[in-house]
């Protein structure tokens, strides 16, 4: 056997460490790709991460002198709108109420009512700070390190829809057609809806819709167990049937999650906005339901016999 010196062992050990480090880096990168793919275009932010972003944007020396950090947090996580002047219901995803506290919601609402009375709507930064403080003091424990789903804006909806139109090569005439006549009459529109839901991270073929994310997107009441049980049963019933993937996505959206969580209307809204910019006529490939001919007795008296 060849003689191996201590220097050789040290070199081999160093080489192994380098190889192992490269392998771990590769696996981490590969894992990140799979994670990103599973969420597609969906974005998740934590309170701490968002606050760090805002500290950069509002750093001392920028044009804003007032403390607007909490307003910035609300804007980036999509629960704040200056027009309304109070956080939307989706701010609750960052808090965990005490299971034994049955009055947290009422206390928070009462506090927000006081903010509306005392802080002018135009004072957006102070309004955001005071109303967010209502949640800190009344709603529950802040989950500052847990990333949560961030709802899409209307512009983002339109971009994702356009991506899906390009992916599936859907003609403009079909887009105008299903906006005018209804998705159920266009197979291409159902596949477009499926693509839209998947790219927004709201749906998978295997798991169906993510009710929590869909509810955050549509500001629905995702703590409503009765609705979720009813929707889940409806989804399971459809998944057990032999339905193609595009038809299944449409029927789940139309039949199972069409209450407070109505992402189908979001898709149609983005489609309508996009179609309004087009000048083409609806597609001639419209699949109309079959006509039903019913034989009804004549109301006229019988014709007299000849001869």
DSSP string, 242-276: ---HHHHHHHIIIIIS-SS--HHHHHHHHHHHHHH
Strands 148-150 and 141-142 come out as unpaired
User: pLDDT by residue (tens digit) across 22-74?
Assistant: 555 444 443 333 344 567 899 999 999 999 999 999 986 566 656 899 999 99
> How many Å apart are CA 159 and CA 148, to the nearest integer?
22
Range in 115-129, 238-252, 258-272 the model is least confident about: 258-272
Q: What is the pLDDT of residues 68-89, one digit of tens each?
A: 999 999 999 999 999 999 999 9
Q: Retrieve residue 166's tokens.
A: 């390009």
Which pLDDT band, with edges at 50, 70 and 90, does 266 fall under? Answer: very high
Cβ-Cβ contacts under 8 Å for 136 (sequence gap 6 or more): 142
Model pTM? 0.77
Q: What integer pLDDT is reported at residue 1 of this predicted model? A: 47
What mean pLDDT do residues 88-99 have? 95
- Per DSSP, helices labelled H in the chain are 6-39, 47-57, 69-76, 104-118, 124-138, 154-168, 172-181, 187-199, 211-218, 225-239, 245-251, 263-276
191 pLDDT higher than 80: yes
Q: What is the pLDDT of residue 42?
A: 94
pLDDT band at 8 (very low <50, low <70, confident <90, very high): low
| Coil, strand or helix at 95 | strand
Q: 94 pLDDT exceeds 90?
A: yes
CB 126 within 8 A of CB 165: no
Rounded-to-integer distance, Cα 68 and Cα 57, Å: 10
To the nearest whole percent, how much of the chain has pLDDT over 90? 66
Q: Cβ(195)–Cβ(201) under 8 Å?
A: no
Residues 40, 149 contacting (CB under 8 angstroms): no
Confidence of residue 278 (pLDDT cuts 50, 70, 90): confident
Angle between helices 154-168 and 187-199 (to 10 degrees): 130
């Amino acid at each position: 056997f060849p003689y191996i010196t201590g220097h050789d062992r040290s070199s081999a050990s160093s080489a192994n460490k380098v190889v192992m480090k490269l392998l771990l880096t590769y696996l981490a990168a590969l894992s990140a790709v799979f994670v990103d793919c599973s969420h597609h275009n969906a974005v998740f932010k934590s309170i701490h991460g968002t606050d760090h972003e805002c500290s950069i944007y509002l750093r001392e020396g920028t044009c804003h002198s007032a403390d607007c950090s909490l307003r910035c947090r609300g804007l980036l996580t999509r629960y704040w709108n200056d027009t309304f002047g109070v956080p939307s219901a989706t701010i609750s995803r960052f808090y965990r109420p005490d299971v034994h506290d049955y009055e947290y919601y009422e206390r928070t609402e009462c506090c927000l009512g006081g903010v509306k009375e005392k802080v002018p709507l135009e004072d957006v930064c102070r309004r955001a700070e005071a109303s967010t403080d209502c949640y800190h003091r009344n709603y529950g424990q802040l989950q500052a390190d847990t990333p949560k789903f961030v709802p899409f804006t209307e512009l983002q909806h339109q971009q994702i829809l356009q991506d899906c139109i390009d992916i599936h090569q859907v003609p403009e005439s079909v887009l105008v057609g299903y906006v005018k006549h209804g998705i159920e009459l266009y197979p291409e529109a159902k596949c477009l809806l499926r693509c839209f839901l998947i790219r927004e991270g709201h749906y998978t073929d295997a798991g169906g819709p993510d009710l929590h994310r869909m509810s955050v997107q549509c500001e629905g009441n995702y703590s409503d167990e009765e609705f979720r049980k009813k929707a889940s049963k409806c989804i399971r019933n459809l998944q057990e049937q032999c339905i193609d993937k595009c038809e299944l996505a449409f029927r789940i959206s139309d039949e199972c999650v069409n209450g407070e969580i109505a992402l189908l209307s979001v898709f149609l809204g983005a489609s309508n906005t996009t179609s309004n910019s087009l000048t083409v006529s609806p597609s001639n490939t419209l699949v109309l339901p079959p006509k039903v001919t019913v034989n009804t007795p004549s109301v006229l008296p019988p014709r007299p016999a000849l001869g």
